[in-house]
Amino acid sequence: MWIRKLKKISRKAVRHRREAALLAAVALLLTGIACYHYAVSPVTALTTPTIVDIPKGAGFFRITEIMDDAGLVANRPFFWIVALVKGATRHIRAGEYEFTGPLSPSQIIEKLVRGEIKFYSVTLPEDITVSEVSRRLAADKLINEKEFLALASDREFLASQGVAADSVEGFLFPDTYKLDRSMTTREVMRILIRQFWKEVTPQLKKEAEQMGLTLNQWVTLASIIGKESGNSPEKPLISAVFHNRLAKGMKLQSDPTAVYYLEREGRPAKTVLRSHLKKDTPHNTYVIAGLPPGPIANPGLDSLQAALHPARVNYLYFVAKNDGSHQFSSSLGAHNLAISKYHPAKQKK
């Protein structure tokens, strides 16, 4: 009798376990279906871009919290499951992400794993100064401006980048760069310097040496040429004037060098005044003889080439013609006539 009761109880227990297992399987199946539906269905239809910043060192749960606060998760447990299935929990790259349109959690996680961070296209024009570079980059929050300017004169850092100079001026190559906000200020500066070394080939450096110019002198001369004229075809003529003056022991008398100290102070001059030309500063070629101690801007390749390949002319003077070009002269008399024609109220070099 007791044996029959035990068998009956055992059969009921087995039946209950089967029912429990079946219920668990059904629940798991329904959860799986719901999770799959969650994974492939848009979380929200973003009509405007949503920017999310994933900080360096953030753990997966912190990342989920950031994404949820931005309205891109909706269901944290399901988001965790989808990320675990995709093996994404340890492979999300820090940085700034832009999300727009109807995106599913699966697409969002894949974007994070691929590291499709938001890039900023920054164009640094030729003959831009370090101060101007820092302002442009800081405007897009790509650098810490104070740190950038400190690095610009950090001899130890510059030496590590192959720059044997007191300043990085002249070695930040003007170009269009794709940068992102996860980059450190040091990384950004390294990228700009690296591009300089890509453009300044060993052959070009050899040509400079054959002309009797050190790297610093070559870049310095190129920077003056570039600041004097943005007209590329004229640059070899500008270069010829300065080469001819150097050969004769004449002062270069370049206006941009006279106001460079203002550029370094972050307050560029809109107009070059007589008082600027008389200012006793290290770079003012109205005061000093020969080339300044360093570049006054970051020259482009055409200015660097012009410094190495001056036109074969005997010009010693030039004056702006107010149309983007210059009038060149070989004698002071001809130069004064050009001044009276184009700038009757001013005395130019």
The answer, yes or no, to whether residue 348 has pLDDT greater than 70, is no
Q: Which of 114, 145, 179 is the last residue of a domain?
A: 114
In a domain, 7, yes or no: no
Regarding whether 222 and 146 lie in a shared domain, the answer is: no
Say whether both 60 and 172 belong to one domain. Answer: no
Average the pLDDT over each of 42-56, 270-284, 300-314 and give the range with the smallest value: 42-56
- Grade residue 105 by pLDDT with cuts at 50, 70 and 90: confident
pLDDT at residue 200 in the model: 95
At 267 the pLDDT is 81
pLDDT at residue 349 tops 50: no
**Residue numbers of the domain that contains 221:** 212-342
**2 vs 10: CA distance, rounded Å:** 12
Q: Has residue 307 been placed in a domain?
A: yes
Long-range pairs, 103-106, Cβ under 8 A, ≥24: 103/42, 103/43, 103/44, 103/46, 103/72, 104/39, 104/40, 104/41, 104/42, 104/43, 105/38, 105/39, 105/43, 105/72, 105/73, 105/74, 105/78, 105/79, 106/39, 106/40, 106/82
Answering whether pTM is above 0.85, one says no
H-only helix segments in 172-214: 185-199, 202-210
Cα distances (Å, whole numbers) of residue 54 to 42, 43, 61, 83, 163: 21, 19, 12, 16, 34
More confident residue, 183 or 35: 183
Q: Indicate the average pLDDT of the chain.
A: 88
- Would you say residue 24 lies in a domain? no
Number of domains in the chain: 3
pLDDT tens readout for residues 196-237:
999 999 999 999 999 999 999 999 999 999 999 988 999 999
pLDDT at 93: 87
Report whether 220 contacts 169 (CB < 8 A): no
pLDDT band at residue 77 using 50, 70 and 90 as cut-offs? confident
Same domain, 86 and 129: no
